[in-house]
Structure 1
Amino acid sequence: MPTSATMSPSLAARADQALAGLAPGYFALVMGTGIVSVGLRMVGADGAALVLLILAALVGIVLVVLYVLRWGRHPARMRADAKDPETAFGYFTIVAAASVVAVGLQQVGLGTASVVLLGIGAALWIVLGYVLPWQVLMARDGEPILARTNGSWFIWSVASQSLAVGLSGLEPSSSAYASLLGLFTVMAWSVGTILYLGIAVLVILRIVHFGITPRQFEPTYWVAMGALAIAVVAGAGIFAMDSVPMVDAARGLIGGTVVVFWCFALWLIPLLAGAGLWRHLIHRVPLRYTPSLWSIVFPLGMFAVASLRLGRVEHLPLVEGVGDVGLVVAVLAWVAVAVGLLMTLLRGLHGAKG
């Protein structure tokens, strides 16, 4: 009779199984950790901010290795994810993660490393921005697309805005470079804003026509709020950039939108929180760790950063106070999800040894 040891899959087999199922949006872990670090530095908690920035960078490196291994061992799974409307846009978390870490590096004076990361992020944004929508919309798998539209689609907008945030923080070395930088920064902000509007229409149509069940209301819907918040941060960054033709042409429009975006993001928070209660308390959907929970941490952290920045730029103490409270909430959310991740990893290791 086989023993429990022989019946249990080996550690290598379990690791390979986990690698095969690695979520396309797992870089949201880096995004959430990075933006909380940025927020903590804004309020003077430099030590904690540095720890989280280092952690975000290390986790990012580990995830890059894991994604490369997954491509080598399970290319069919990665291609399937890239065609699936419910998972494909999660790959844009790679772009956003690179940009958020780049912003953190700017805060600590590592400008060269920041430029390198933004360059990688921009290259991926261009490639993924054409390849993934083509795969989802043109290389169909035979199932309806609108019924499978979800909150992860907003990550496409977030990726664009994250580049705008990072680019707006660079210090150009010449007027020609400044003009080019201004052009790309405004373009990234504009593309992200238009994408948000289009995706919002699709998500609303999906809910109106097909409805949404408690289990379908996943944490990625919080990205709808986070995308607005990052547009505020990017817009404020562009507004503060040096005078160049493209920035001057867009400054008035962008400056007028950031307050509207912030207000709508604030309005969405009770709606999203209420939907979460509807999902978990009323309909008893189990609250357990999933990678998509990082899609709540990042929007909360980004809203806090947006509030702090908007409040300081526009001299709005109430908005800045909202940012202080929001940052506390974001830190608590980060701790809760991080504990969930650690417990999941420990259970997996224990199961493998058993």
Structure 2
Amino acid sequence: MTDSAEHNIDQRPDGRFFLGSLKAAAKGLSPAYFAMVMATGIVSIAAGAMGMPRIAMALFWLNIGVYLVLWLLSVLRAVWFTRQFFDDMLDHQRGPGFFTTIAGSCVLGSQFILISGNYQAAFVLWVVGAVLWVGLNYTIFTAFTVKEIKPPLDQGITGAWLLAVVAPQSIAALSALLAAHWGQPHKLEFNFIALSMWLWGGMLYIWMMALIFYRYTFFRFLPSDLAPPYWINMGAMAISTLAGSLLVANAADAPYLQSLLPFIKGFTVFYWATGTWWIPMLVVLGVWRHVYKRFPLKYDPLYWGAVFPLGMYAASTLQMERAMNLPFLKFIPQYFLYLALLAWLAAFAGLLHTLARQILVRARK
């Protein structure tokens, strides 16, 4: 830091500087920033399931802090920048990012169960996720339906729309984890909620993916169009696989799940196979974007939406292998966990670098 920057900080009241920084952080907060909670949570869960308890616990505590900070900034943004906040919610490109609040809450809830065994906190987060899902689902899609001025398909839809699939699937997964712990009748009720949300998420994926694939293949596609949330194409299928595998594991405790077991197993493998198909495609498109087209690679909060699918693919493949006794898939989760850890570290380093640079810029003003 230069002497002049240090002088500026010394001359500025600490409270005023802090408040200004807080307002700047709240104003610039991306609606999709809770994807960081999703990514950190699922990497923690996968690490815990694969015998890395220290990494899992460290990421768990970090994720609690990240979750609370993001909620604080989100509330402040809604209060201080109300119009911008709700304009984002009604925007075709930025609006779906709000679904990360649902998935982030439920993934953290799953962490509380699998990492610390705290079912009370997990249930509170389940309630938060369910309330947010009802509110955001019908607010955003109703607004998209009735608004008079709408963008054309190639400018309005992105992979971020599939966060609307990830949200109910995260509720399904957390519901199944809660159901496995509780006694009757709540066991039956929460397994039914899990089944219903799993089916709804699958139907929504089919609807949205048809539009996204159409946009891919029949409209001009620029490197700038291939934003990181397109990895949710795979991540939505990975979390659908995880939720389906948990339903398979719970089938013995719910007669209606037992009767649907072949269907659930078949669609779970269908989801896993679809997600697997997307991986080479997304890698090729990433090489085309950054190598062939030389699109600059720099930190963007949307990159957390690319870390999440890698961790979720590791966790979901492991859960499916255990639920369906598929030992020949055992080698996959470990490799993808290492990829997810590397991607998480890269995104976290980018976040720290960006924060440090923003602090220096504000200090020099």
TM-score bracket for the superposition, by shorter chain length: over 0.9
Distance 2:148 2:244 in 1: 35
Aligned to 2:314: 304
The partner residue of 1:294 within 281, 304, 317 is 304
CA shift for structure 1 position 256: 1.0
Deviations 1:71-129 (A, max 9, x none): 00111111111111111111010110111111111112101111111111011111111
Deviations 1:237-258 (A, max 9, x none): 0111143244234322111122
1:140–1:155 CA distance, 2 compared to 1 (3 A): farther
The one-letter amino acid of 1:295's match is G
Q: Does 1:217 align with 2:226?
A: yes
Deviations 1:184-207 (A, max 9, x none): 111110011001110101112222
1:119–1:250 CA distance, 2 compared to 1 (3 A): farther
CA shift for structure 1 position 29: 0.3
1:138–1:246 CA distance, 2 compared to 1 (3 A): farther
1:71–1:265 CA distance, 2 compared to 1 (3 A): same
Distance 1:184 1:246 in 2: 12
CA shift for structure 1 position 308: 1.3
Contact 1:309 1:320 in 2 (8 A): no
Count of matched residue pairs: 351
Distance 1:335 1:10 in 2: 29
Q: Secondary structure at the match of 1:240?
A: helix
**Within-5 A mapping of 1:1-354:** 12-13=19-20, 15-107=22-114, 108-145=116-153, 147-170=155-178, 171=180, 173-241=182-250, 242-354=252-364
Deviations 1:218-277 (A, max 9, x none): 000000100101111100001111432442343221111222221221221111011111
CA shift for structure 1 position 303: 0.2
Distance 1:282 1:146 in 2: 22
The one-letter amino acid of 1:157's match is V
Distance 2:207 2:150 in 1: 23
**Which is further off, 161-170 or 9-18?**
9-18
Contact 1:82 1:136 in 2 (8 A): no
Distance 2:317 2:150 in 1: 43
CA shift for structure 1 position 137: 2.5
Query: Unaligned regions of 5+ residues in structure 1, if any?
Result: none
**Which is further off, 285-294 or 162-171?**
162-171
**Which is further off, 314-323 or 297-306?**
314-323
CA shift for structure 1 position 315: 2.7
CA shift for structure 1 position 16: 2.4
Distance 1:294 1:16 in 2: 23
Q: Secondary structure at the match of 1:175?
A: coil
**Which is further off, 234-243 or 341-350?**
234-243
Contact 1:99 1:163 in 2 (8 A): yes
Deviations 1:164-194 (A, max 9, x none): 1111111454432222112211111001100
CA shift for structure 1 position 14: 5.3
**Which is further off, 170-179 or 217-226?**
170-179
Q: Secondary structure at the match of 1:143?
A: coil
Distance 2:133 2:274 in 1: 26
Fraction of identical pairs, as percent: 32
Distance 2:246 2:43 in 1: 18
The one-letter amino acid of 2:241's match is V
**Which is further off, 13-22 or 32-41?**
13-22
